[in-house]
């Protein structure tokens, strides 16, 4: 499947075959593609929590408006952001780069993020969003459906997952074998309404 087809055919599916299981190899392939998603300064600030314990998924469903895909999809990925990834041994993000690149970029990471909590959070959310899209398109190529989700109690999910204080949930992506067709598209705005040339 080419990228254009994956984009055109990917839809948010709500109902899944609860008996289907993804193989370990499929999950590894999916996450191996997800970690190729871009992040600013290559800080790789996403963390992918694979929720596979059925009891935990039931608890998460309770704080997610009782949405069935939380428990019924083959895989529930909670994309979380490490808000302090930028300060955790930043040299490792550029370990394979030439030394002049390392010498320039590693100190800049701290200069850019230090003391700027809103920037740290904004960057983390952007990174998780890009990773989520990578997951959804890769899953489509693999023959799976997906549903991106932010309809949940963020604080409750963080507590259920025992997230460290410097981590925050960004969104879920449910992955599995859909058992219903997507609703017709609700209506795309015209390009002329959403594309601005140069200035508003």
Q: Give, for all 200 residues of the chain, the pLDDT tens digit.
A: 999 999 999 999 999 999 999 999 999 999 999 999 999 999 999 999 999 999 999 999 999 999 999 999 999 999 999 999 999 999 999 999 999 999 999 999 999 999 999 999 999 999 999 999 999 999 999 999 999 999 999 999 999 999 999 999 999 999 999 999 998 999 999 999 999 999 99
pTM above 0.75, yes or no: yes
pLDDT digits (tens, 9 = 90+) for 34-65: 999 999 999 999 999 999 999 999 999 999 99
Let me know if domain 3-194 sits in CATH 3.40.109.10. Answer: yes
Indicate the angle between helix axes 117-141 and 99-113, nearest 10 degrees. 120
Residues 163, 80 contacting (CB under 8 angstroms): yes
Token pair for residue 162? 């025992």
From the list 75, 71, 97, 78, the residue with the least C-alpha distance to 153 is 78
What are the boundaries of each domain within the chain? 3-194
Contacts 24+ apart (CB under 8 A), 178-182: 178/13, 178/15, 178/16, 178/17, 178/145, 179/15, 179/16, 179/17, 180/13, 180/14, 180/15, 182/11, 182/12, 182/13
Distance CA 171, CA 96 (A): 31
Residues 149, 64 contacting (CB under 8 angstroms): yes
């Amino acid at each position: 499947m080419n990228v254009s087809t994956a984009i055109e055919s990917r839809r948010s599916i709500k109902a899944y075959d609860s008996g289907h299981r993804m193989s370990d190899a499929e999950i590894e392939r999916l996450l191996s593609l997800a970690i190729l998603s871009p992040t600013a300064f290559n800080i790789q600030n996403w963390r992918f929590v694979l929720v596979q314990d059925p009891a935990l998924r039931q608890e998460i469903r309770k704080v997610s408006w009782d949405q069935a895909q939380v428990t019924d999809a083959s895989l529930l990925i909670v994309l979380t952001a490490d808000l302090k990834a930028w300060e955790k041994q930043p040299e490792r993000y550029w370990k394979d780069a030439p030394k002049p690149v390392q010498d320039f970029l590693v100190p800049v990471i701290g200069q850019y993020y230090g003391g700027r909590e809103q920037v740290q959070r904004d960057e983390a959310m952007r990174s998780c969003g890009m990773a989520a899209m990578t997951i959804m398109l890769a899953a489509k190529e693999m023959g799976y459906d997906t549903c991106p989700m932010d309809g949940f109690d963020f604080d409750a999910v963080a507590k259920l997952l025992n997230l460290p204080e410097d981590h925050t949930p960004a969104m879920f992506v449910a992955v599995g074998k859909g058992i219903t067709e997507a609703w017709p598209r609700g209506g795309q705005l015209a390009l002329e309404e959403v594309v601005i040339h140069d200035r508003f």
